[in-house]
Structure 1
Amino acid sequence: MILLAAAFLVTALLYASVGFGGGSTYTALLALGGVDYRLLPLLSLACNIVVVAGSTLRFARARVTPWRDALLLTATAAPAAFLGGLTPIGEKAFLGILGACLVLTGLSLILPAREDEVAKPARWARLMPIVAMPLGYLAGLVGIGGGIFLAPFLHLARWQGARAIAATASLFILVNSLFGLAGQMLKGGAGRLSAAVDFGLPLLVAVAIGGQLGSLLALKYLPQRWIRLGTAALTTWVGVRLLLIL
C-alpha cells in the first residue's frame, strides 16, 4: 500500500500541474496492483474529485471559467457519464478500453499547447456539446473524468483560450466524476462502496497532497512543457503495460 500511495501522490502531482485529475492512471495502477477491477472506478473517481475540486475553485476565483459554454458541455456529458457508470462491463474489455485510453491520453499531452490568445474558432467548434456526450459515457464506463479527452478537441477547434479550456476541462472532470461515481455506486451497491472506502482512504490522502504540490510546482517552479512531457511518458508507459497483460 505504501508504494501504491506513493505512485498515486506522484500521479496526482503530475496531472494537477497540467489541470487534470489523473483518474485513468489511478485506475491502471490499481489494475496492475491486482486490485479487484470492480472497485477501480469507485476509487479512481473519488481520487479525481479530490484533485480537481481545488483546481475548479481556483479557476472560478480567477474568473477564467467560461461558465455558460462550460456548463453546456458539462450538462450534455454528465448524464452520459452516469449511464456509463451503470453499464456492466467485463474485466478484459474494461482493461482493454482503459489501456487504449491511456495511450491516446499520453499522445494528446505531447501535442503542443496553444497560446492563450483567442483565435477564431473552427466551424465545427459549435459541435463540442455533441462531442462531449460520447466522451462522458466513455469516462463513466472506465471510471475517469474525461477532461483529458475533451481538452484536445477544444484546442483543435480553437474553442476558446488555453486558460478557459483548462478551466472547462477541470469543471468537466469534476462533474463527470460525480455523476460517474453515482452510477458506479448504484451498479455495485453499498457493499462494494464500503470495500472501496476501506481500501482507498490512504490513496485519497495521497492524491490530496499530490494535487496541492502539483499546483504549487506548476505555478512557481517547473516549466509547463517539462511537466506535460513527464505526464505523457508516465501515462503512455502505464497504458502499454496494461495492454500487454491482456
Structure 2
Amino acid sequence: MASLVVAFFVAALLYASVGFGGGSTYTALLALAEIDYRLLPLLSLACNIVVVAGSSLRFARAKVTPWRNALLLTGVAAPAALLGGLTPIDETTFLTILGASLVLTALTLLLRPRDTATGAPPRFARLMPVLAVPLGYLAGLVGIGGGIFLAPFLHLTRWDSARAIAATASLFILVNSLFGLAGQLLKGGTGRLGAAIDFGLPLLVAVAIGGQIGSLLALKYLPQRWIRYGTAALTAWVGGRLLLNV
C-alpha cells in the first residue's frame, strides 16, 4: 500500500500542475497492483473529484471560467458519463481501453497549448458539444473525467484562451466524475462503495495533498513545459505497461 500511496501522490502532483485530475493513471496504477477491477472506477473517480474540486473553485474565483460554453459542454457530456458508468464491461476490454486511452493521453500532453484564442473559432469548434458526448461516455465507462481528451481539441480549434480551456477542462472532469461515479454505484450497488472507501482512504489523502502541491508548483516554481513532459512520460509508461499485461 505504501508504494501505491506514493504513486498516487506523485500522479496527483503532476496532473494537478497541468490542470487535470489524473483519473486514468490512478485506474491504471490500481490495475497494475491487481486490485479488483470493479473497484477501480469508484476509487479513481473519487480521487478525481478530490483533485479537481479545488481547481474548479480557484478558476471560478479568478473569474476565468467561460460559464456559458463550459456548462454547455459539461451538460451534454454528464448524462453520457452516467450511461458509461452504468454500462457492463469485462476486465480485458476495460484494461485495453484504459491502456490505449493512457497512451493517447501522453500524446495529447505533448501538444503545445495556445496562450490566447486567435480570431473567431473555426467551424469545427462549434461541433465541440457533439464531441463531448462520446468523451463523457468514455469517462464514465473507464472511470476518468475525460477533460484530458477534451482540452487538446479545445486548443486545436482555438476555442478560447489557455486559462479558459483549463478552467473548462477542470469543470468537465469534476461533473463527469460525479455522474460517472453515480453510474458506477447504480451498476454495482453500495457494497462496493464501502469496500472502495475502506481500501482507498489513504489514496484520497495522498491525492488531496499532491494536488495542492502540484497547483503551487505550477503557479510559482516549475516551468509548465517540464511538468507536461514529466506527466506525459509517466502516463505513457503506465499505459504501455498496462497494454503489455492485458
Same fold (TM over 0.5): yes
* Map 1:149-228 → 2, pairs under 5 A: 149-228=149-228
2:80 alignment partner in structure 1: 80
- TM-score, with normalisation over the residues of structure 2? 0.99
Separation in 1, partners of 2:138, 2:104:
13
Structure 2: tracts of 5 or more residues without a match? none
Structure 1: tracts of 5 or more residues without a match? none
SS in 1 for 2:189: helix
The number of equivalent residue pairs is 246
Separation in 1, partners of 2:46, 2:201:
10
Separation in 2, partners of 1:202, 1:119:
46
Please say if residues 23 and 44 of structure 2, whose CA atoms lie closer than 8 Å, have aligned partners that are also in contact: yes
Separation in 1, partners of 2:217, 2:186:
38
1:127 alignment partner in structure 2: 127
Please say if residues 119 and 160 of structure 1, whose CA atoms lie closer than 8 Å, have aligned partners that are also in contact: no
Please say if residues 21 and 51 of structure 2, whose CA atoms lie closer than 8 Å, have aligned partners that are also in contact: yes
SS in 1 for 2:47: helix
Deviations 1:51-86 (A, max 9, x none): 000000000000000000000000000000000000
Deviations 1:81-110 (A, max 9, x none): 000000000000000000000000000001
- TM-score, with normalisation over the residues of structure 1? 0.99
2:28 alignment partner in structure 1: 28
Runs ≥4 residues deviating over 4 A: none
Separation in 2, partners of 1:119, 1:234:
35
1:115 and 2:115 correspond: yes
Relative to structure 1, is the Cα distance of residues 100 and 75 closer, same or farther in structure 2, using a 3 angstrom cutoff? Answer: same
The Cα of 1:115 is off from its aligned counterpart by 1.5
2:19 alignment partner in structure 1: 19
Percentage of pairs with the same residue: 80
Separation in 1, partners of 2:109, 2:203:
24
Deviations 1:170-228 (A, max 9, x none): 00000000000000001110111110010000000000000000000000100000000
Q: CA RMSD in A?
A: 0.6
The Cα of 1:119 is off from its aligned counterpart by 3.3
